[in-house]
C-alpha cells in the first residue's frame, strides 16, 4: 500500500505546492479542510474503534467462536482495521490542523510503516477468507485436514510477517525534512529515497499489485467458484442456506473494500507514473479518496450488524452480561 498521505507521504507540501502562488508572502492559510477533515476523521475514529473492538470482544467472549477458521480470519481483519484506525487517523488529522509534523522521527517512520502493514494485512485476510470459503464449499471433505484453527493461525502468522516485511522500506525512507516557510523552520514527515529514487516506482507498483490487484483477482475467482457450487446445491437445505448467508456477508465486505480503496490506489498510481496536476481540484480528489480508504476500516462491523444474525446475537448476549 502506498502512503495514505499525498505526494510522498506529505499532505502539507502538497497543499503548499497547490497554494504557493497566492500565499508566497506568508504561511499557507488553512482552508475549510483544516476543520472538516478532522471532524470526519473523529467520526471515523469513534465508529471504527467502537465497532472493531466490539467485533473482537464478541469473537473472544467464550473462545468457542475461534474454533471456526472463518472467525479467526474475521478476528484478524478487525484487529488490522482497529490498528489502522489507531495508528493512522489521529496522526493524519493533525496534518490538516497543525502547520508541521510534531511527533518526531520515530513516529514519522512508525506511523507510515503501520499504515502500510495493516492495509496489507487487511487485504491478505480478505484473500484468506475467500480461499477458506472456497475450500469449505467446493472441497468440503478434502479440506477437513486443512481447515483447522491451528492451520488458520499459521496462515495468520504468515500474513502478518509478510505484511510487516513488505512495509519495512517505510522505516528506512521516511524521515523528517526541515523547510523554511516565511522565515520559520517547519518539520515535515516525507520520503527520502536518495540514490534509490529510481526504484521507488517499482516498489509502489509492487505494493499496488500485492495489496490490491492480486488479492481481488484471487478473491473474485474463489467467490465465482463458490457461488457456482452453491447454486448447484439443494436450495432448501439448511446447511446450504447457512453457507450462502456467510458467503454473502464476506462478499459484501470484499466489495466494500475494493470500492473504498480503488480511488486511493488510482490517485497514487497517477502520482507515481503519470503527470499529476497539483491544483485545488486534485487536492480535493485526493482528500476524498483518502476519506474513502479510512471509512473502509469502520464499515465492516456495520455490515456484520446488518447481515449477521449471529453477530447481533453475540452483541445481545454481551449486553446482557454487562
For 128-172, the pLDDT digits (tens) are: 999 999 998 899 888 888 889 999 999 999 999 999 999 999 999
Contact 115, 80 (CB under 8 A): no
Burial of 295 (C-beta count, 10 Å sphere; 0-12/13-18/19+): middle
Using the structure block, give the residue that is written with the C-alpha cell 507510515: 112
Residue 310's beta-bridge partner residues? none
Q: How confident is the model at residue 236 (pLDDT cuts 50, 70, 90)?
A: low
Q: Domain extents for the chain?
A: 6-321
Rounded CA gap, 264 and 115, in Å?
A: 13
Higher confidence at residue 152 or residue 244? 152
Pick the CATH number of 6-321 from 1.20.1070.10, 3.30.1330.100, 1.10.3720.10, 3.30.450.40: 1.20.1070.10
Q: How confident is the model at residue 232 (pLDDT cuts 50, 70, 90)?
A: confident
Rounded CA gap, 46 and 57, in Å?
A: 16
Burial of 233 (C-beta count, 10 Å sphere; 0-12/13-18/19+): middle
Using the structure block, give the residue that is written with the C-alpha cell 446445491: 233
pLDDT tens profile 32-91: 667 788 888 899 999 999 999 999 998 888 666 788 888 899 999 999 999 999 988 888
pLDDT of residue 27: 40
Residue 12: pLDDT above 50? no
pLDDT of residue 238: 62
Q: Could you write out the three-class secondary structure of the chain?
A: CCCCCHHHHCHHHHHHHHHCCCCCCCCCCCCCHHHHHHHHHHHHHHHHHHHHHHHHHHHHCCCHHHHCHHHHHHHHHHHHHHHHHHHHHHHHHHHHHCCCCCCHHHHHHHHHHHHHHHHHHHHHHHHHHHHHHHHHHHCCCCCCCCCCHHHHHHHHHHHHHHHHHHHCHHHHHEEEEEEEECCEEEEEEEECCHHHHHHHHHHHHHHHHHHHHHHHHHHHHHHHHHHHHHHCCCCCCHHHHHHHHHHHHHHHHHHHHHHHHHHHHHHHHHHHHCCCCCCHHHHHHHHHHHHHHHHHHHHHHHHHHHHCHHHHHHHHHHHHHC
Residue 9: pLDDT above 50? no
pLDDT of residue 306: 78
pLDDT tens profile 158-210: 999 999 999 999 999 899 888 877 778 888 888 888 777 788 889 999 999 99
Comparing C-alpha atoms, which of 47, 44, 63, 57 is closest to residue 319? 57
Using the structure block, give the residue that is written with the C-alpha cell 484473500: 127
Residue 18: pLDDT above 70? no
Higher confidence at residue 12 or residue 186? 186
Amino acid at each position: 500500500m502506498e502512503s495514505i498521505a499525498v505526494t510522498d507521504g506529505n499532505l502539507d507540501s502538497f497543499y503548499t505546492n497547490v497554494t504557493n502562488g497566492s500565499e508566497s508572502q506568508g504561511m499557507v492559510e488553512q482552508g475549510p479542510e483544516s476543520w472538516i477533515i478532522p471532524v470526519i476523521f473523529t467520526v471515523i475514529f469513534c465508529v471504527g474503534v467502537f465497532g472493531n473492538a466490539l467485533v473482537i470482544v464478541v469473537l473472544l467472549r467464550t473462545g468457542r467462536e475461534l474454533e471456526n477458521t472463518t472467525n479467526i480470519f474475521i478476528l484478524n481483519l478487525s484487529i488490522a482495521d482497529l490498528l489502522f484506525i489507531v495508528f493512522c487517523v489521529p496522526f493524519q488529522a493533525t496534518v490538516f490542523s497543525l502547520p508541521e509534523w510534531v511527533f518526531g522521527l520515530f513516529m514519522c517512520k512508525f506511523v507510515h510503516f503501520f499504515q502500510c502493514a495493516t492495509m496489507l494485512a487487511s487485504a491478505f485476510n480478505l484473500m484468506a477468507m475467500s480461499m477458506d470459503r472456497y475450500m469449505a464449499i467446493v472441497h468440503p471433505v478434502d479440506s477437513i485436514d486443512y481447515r483447522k484453527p491451528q492451520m488458520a493461525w499459521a496462515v495468520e502468522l504468515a500474513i502478518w510477517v509478510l505484511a510487516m516485511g513488505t512495509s519495512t522500506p517505510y522505516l528506512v525512507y521516511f524521515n523528517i525534512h526541515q523547510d523554511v516557510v516565511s522565515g520559520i523552520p517547519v518539520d515535515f514527515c516525507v520520503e527520502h529515497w536518495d540514490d534509490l529514487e529510481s526504484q521507488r516506482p517499482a516498489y509502489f507498483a509492487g505494493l499496488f499489485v500485492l495489496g490490491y490487484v492480486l488479492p481481488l483477482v484471487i478473491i473474485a475467482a474463489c467467490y465465482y467458484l463458490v457461488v457456482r457450487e452453491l447454486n448447484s446445491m439443494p436450495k432448501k437445505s439448511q446447511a446450504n442456506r447457512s453457507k450462502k448467508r456467510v458467503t454473502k456477508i464476506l462478499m459484501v465486505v470484499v466489495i466494500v473494500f475494493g470500492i473504498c480503496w480503488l480511488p486511493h490506489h488510482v490517485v497514487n498510481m497517477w502520482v507515481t507514473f503519470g503527470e499529476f496536476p497539483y491544483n485545488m481540484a486534485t487536492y480535493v480528489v485526493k482528500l476524498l479518496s483518502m476519506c474513502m480508504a479510512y471509512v473502509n476500516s469502520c464499515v465492516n462491523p456495520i455490515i456484520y450488524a446488518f447481515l449477521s444474525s449471529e453477530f447481533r446475537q453475540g452483541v445481545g448476549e454481551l449486553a446482557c452480561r454487562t
